[in-house]
A and B are shown apart, each in its own frame.
Chain A
């Protein structure tokens, strides 16, 4: 019981303190892969501690009754205790109802997470299919891309059973050969880095728990960092200036009013261009990198401390 409480306290601490801290650490986009790892670790450890707590509480509950209809039994016990006026029994039963509710809430969240992930998968497949239909069975474009006959300049990729890069005729016309190669390298980096799967998971979490900044802010930041990571891969092969030129070729003259709702506006273009053109100096980037690495190691360290040394604090038996 107390271990479960400790896990929940830990998740609360990470959920509250994590976002501002991690935001500061990963803002500059130094070592984007580390940044992604540290956000993912924070989010994942919170989810894991919930699962752990729910599991522990579930076991506790099972031991308490060793039967089904737990909620109902809890309610009856509470009522009876109240009628009898026995304080200890009342507290015990009330606690067990609380536990049952927590376990139920966790199960509900897990169900909603699975449903959100399946919806995302279905819509992605559906979109890929519509993209194939839009190409009218025409041969693939450069690098096996799906070329959609549309004037707007757009390039994106879809993961799934049949990963695809979609490029519009407008984008093809706007890019020269090296810029196109850099754009394709960027998109392939998303696919090989499994960025879609990660983002699908974090955005599903953000969607079902919109009140938790760790998930909403984390999803935004991971989205930003994977773009930077993909930029780095493309810049490594084709040069930072080529990537910047490609970014400019696809964006200049396409601005939308800030109020345009629903548009997939990109908050990070200036940041991406800045770090490609003016990389941070070595010393500063190494400092930031160590800080991120430290944060990355902090999470397992805290978990270990909870489990190993927390015995007097966390491992006191429930009914004591």
Chain B
């Protein structure tokens, strides 16, 4: 019997097998039964609504082509998906810690980095499944209603951005779950973070704009827009919206350079994950 950790393909296989087990457990849970329906309802409903001839757009933005309509739908549809990550992941670490299962996991001959990655992948894939399936349905609704499909390139960017957004929330939620010593604190940390980024981030933009001397009474002004986009780089939802805006027609494109947006996306993908993995190396079950 080897006395070291698994390496190479065997190591990757072990991570994926553990992920598969955890995904199965979450997919078969009552939580998925509820969240799956909610996510599908929101995404399919949003896609149906934004393609209604009576829909007048959001603010001054009106959409006619399929990817722009999909972009508009995400304004409503991403709420339950990101909340789904919080609800799937809030007890991924904290509950196992409370029940003693984490202690058993951590005494297995598997590096803690790999255990962390398996947890991340499991929650991420579990929340991706209903979201992606619903978005595929949403795209078919849009195609049916406007008789046009987004291009393959547009779909790749759209699904990549959506997957990244859920990854960022997964990392944040599992970090919260590993920090909390009880389920209540874990869900409070997760929902609190989610609320900040989904509902009150505009307030943060307004405060920053006020501090730098930009008029916040007109949020459609170019000056406010620039400040808003810069502040959005520090929010997962903001970066997600900026990524999708790169697909839109000229006047709806972000004012920031694409490089900044992708740099921020990379930072969001790496930093919370590193914090979580680091936390798992220090966690005391």
A pairs with B:
no
Hey, which bits of chain A sit against chain B, CB under 8 A? none
